[in-house]
Amino acid sequence: MRKVYLSLSTVAEAQKKIVSFPSPLTAEKVPLAQSLGRTLAAAAVAKVSSPAFNGAAMDGVAVKAEITYGARASKPLTLEIGREAFWVNTGAPLPPETNAVIMVENLVINQDIDPPTGAPNVTIEEAVFPWRNVRKIGEDLVETEIVLPQGTAIGAYEIGALAAAGILEPMVFRKPQVVFIPTGSEMASLDSLTPEDLKAGHKLPEFNSLIVQALVEEVGGRLTVWPIVPDDPGKLKETLLKAVDGPFDLIVFNAGSSAGSKDYTAGLLQENGELLVHGIKAMPGKPVAIGKVNQKPVLGLPGYPVSAVIAFELLGLPLLKNWQSAVPLERPNAQVRLFQDLPSKPGLSEFIRVKLGRVNGELVAAPLPRGAGTVASLAKADGIIEIPAISEGLSASQPATVSLLRPLKTINGAILAIGSHDNALALIDGLLRRRDPKLSLTSAHVGSLGGLLALGKGLTHIAGCHLLGEDGTYNQEAIRRFLPGRGVTLIRLVERSQGLMVLRGNPLKIVSLADLTRPEVTMVNRQKGSGTRALLDYELRKSGLDPQSVRGYEDEEFTHLNVAAAVAGGRAQVGLGVLAAAMALGLEFIPLGWEEYDLAILKRDLNDPKIQVLLEIIRGPEFQKEAGALGGYGFKRTGAEVFSLD
């Protein structure tokens, strides 16, 4: 029943095996207007020169240069239009026997005649050399010249070059045909499931096909998605044989290649063909299988979306590109400073999604959650850091290399916010983008204290924080203690209503912190260093309650929304958080009081134009309107500088 990975392949070994499948792609002609995104199957050879004739490069009159020799201001020369000189517009072919163009600006024309082209003659005061102001035949392209090599991906410029070369139907590779076969009795197509189905989890939504479809289309292929095949060995075999017999160049089986109890793909490949690779040294992406059945490549992808995407990018895309003689997609790299150490298991290449921001000239990378199921982290990520298989991880003291998912110029326009999470940050992101699409706010959630420490190290533009001090003030104590001499200003973002979140109807009748010590009550906590945790500890101390007596006190989450989700999902009965999070998840909220949520900013950055726009937005009416709609916010001192320390 259980598959054991006999020996994992390195990524390079697996790539070598899959790209060794010979290309099945024949060539076909397509009209130029439909060739965008296709790939040249043969070198494009110019059918005509461009220009195909000697033409005027300027507006003026075409002449035989030799007749103008000797003309000068003191000895002007008059030329008869239609015999010695011929009006030409830019681009027009030169009349026979002419070999130069005199610009209209250099002609003396009788001003009484309108239009001047009606004049019987023109006068020149300067000679012209042969081929002056003439676009010579073949200047751009010469007939029979190789315009574009085989394997060229056709974009707008290539269409121009092909058109200029008279190639109206370029020879391109036919599109690679890929079939995607989702498997697993527990899977259901995404659009067949209601939100309630998704929450119940009896059926899991199949959407890897949509992601892989986009990846295949991006490299010029076409994906056919077959219905989900349940975990029935007979049905799977039947489907495999039908697929390899069909008009497909690559067969992709999804799920079933994990080492789970329903892993059939590897066995299926072994029984019906040849199993070439079973597992690669990559995380996410490890549980992959490559086989050859009926001479065709079959790729078994892991079920988790991030694993499936990374495995398909590592193995499927290079194959499709190679078949089209094209360079595999390689993302540009950049050097980054790591926000924190990134430990990793040796023996596997690990791919870490990161957020990026340029802080004081330096690119900073803050890691996103690593889980193979966190598909949204791929879309949120600005880059991917690969930790090599031989490494035990990367140290924050060393620069690291990131492979960029977005242009550096976009990343350079992002304000990096590391610190405590607040939904208002997403609103500010939206308002920044609406103001100027080049601006954005990108946030990583490490809690208030983590954010302030990052600010102190120059690793973030702003740090959202709400740390209640012993003296009852917010954030000031922490800044005095951890950031003396760094020059920090605190800008109030909002006041927030903090309280206990419980299920609607408050089934356990929780009314105050004292209820947390009841044996039937389990809470979900926030991580140490977060403002909410500090508030809880402050209030527990004030009420003389022992954290040891609170069940779930050790169970930590990193954001308000995740705490709310834990309560909504039944993992805990109560959590401490902001009203906005409770409202978002439909929970009941028992307010404990108002807290102050500030943005800490280094003084040196206050004049940064990005930060200036940020402050304008915070102080503007739109922000208050949109944040007000979320609920639980106060704006008494929003935008005010509430504290400053040199």
Q: Which residues contact 397 (CB under 8 A, 6 or more apart)?
A: none
Provide, rounded to whole angstroms, the least separation between the CB of residue 612 and its own copies: 20
- The minimum distance between CB 260 and its own copies, in angstroms, equals 5
Residue 190 or residue 590: which is nearer to its own copies going by CB? 190
Between 146 and 514, whose beta carbon lies closer to its own copies?
146
Toward its own copies, which CB reaches closer, 242 or 434?
434
Please, are residues 253 and 300 in contact by the beta-carbon 8 Å criterion? yes
- The nearest distance, CB 469 to its own copies, in angstroms, is 29
Least gap, CB of 42 to its own copies (angstroms):
9
Give least dist CB 429 to its own copies, A. 6
The nearest distance, CB 111 to its own copies, in angstroms, is 12
Report the residue number, 150 or 473, with the smaller CB distance to its own copies: 150
DSSP string for 276-312: EEE-BSEETT-S-EEEEETTEEEEEE-SSHHHHHHHI
Which tokens is 543 given? 């009420």
Nearer to its own copies, 275 or 524 (CB): 524
Smallest separation (angstroms) from its own copies to the CB of 333: 8
For residues 113 and 511, which CB has a smaller minimum distance to its own copies in the complex? 113
Residue 56 to residue 101: CA distance in whole angstroms: 6
Kindly tell me which of 581 and 599 has the beta carbon lying closer to its own copies. 581
Calpha distance 239→460 (Å, rounded): 52
Helices (H), 100-218: 156-164, 195-200, 208-218
Q: Which is nearer to its own copies, 93 or 458 (CB)?
A: 93
CA 435 to chain centre: 21
Q: How far is the CB of 435 from its own copies (least distance, A)?
A: 11
- In whole angstroms, what is the distance from residue 334 CA to residue 358 CA? 12
3-state secondary structure 578-639: EHHHHHHCCCEEEEEEEEEEEEEEEHHHCCCHHHHHHHHHHHCHHHHHHHHHHCCEECCCCC
> Whole-number minimum distance, CB 46 to its own copies, in Å?
8
CB of 641 to its own copies, least distance (A): 28
Count CB-CB contacts under 10 A for residue 611: 18
Q: Which is nearer to its own copies, 434 or 604 (CB)?
A: 434
Structural tokens at position 426: 């997403």
Q: Which long-range contacts (CB under 8 A, 24 or more apart) does 610-614 make?
A: 610/413, 610/415, 610/439, 610/461, 611/415, 611/461, 611/462, 613/432, 613/435, 613/436, 613/439, 614/415, 614/428, 614/432, 614/441, 614/462
Is the Cβ of residue 91 or residue 246 nearer to its own copies in the bound state? 91
Q: Look-up: residue for tokens 């939100």?
A: 195
Q: Determine the angle formed by the axes of helices 531-542 and 447-456, rounding to 10 degrees.
A: 130
What is the distance between the alpha carbons of residues 480 and 493, in angstroms, rounded to a whole number? 20
Q: What is the DSSP string of 48-108?
A: S-BSSS-EESSSEEEE-GGGGTT-BTTB-EEEEBTTTBEEE-TTPBPPTT--EEEEGGGEE
Read off the tokens for 381.
């990520």
Residue 552 to residues 519, 524, 544, 548, Cα–Cα distance (Å)? 11, 5, 18, 9
Q: How far is CA 557 from CA 301, 365, 369, 566, 598, in A?
A: 31, 22, 12, 9, 21
CB contact at 8 A, 277 and 14: yes
Smallest separation (angstroms) from its own copies to the CB of 572: 10
Residue whose CB is less far from its own copies, 400 or 564: 564
In the chain, the N- to C-terminal Cα span, in Å, equals: 66
Cβ nearer to its own copies, comparing 39 with 475:
39
Q: What is the nearest approach in angstroms of its own copies to the Cβ of residue 6?
A: 16
Residue with Cβ nearer its own copies (262 or 637): 262
How many residues does this entry show for the chain?
A: 646
Token look-up 């990520």 returns 381
* Minimum distance of its own copies from residue 484's CB (angstroms): 36
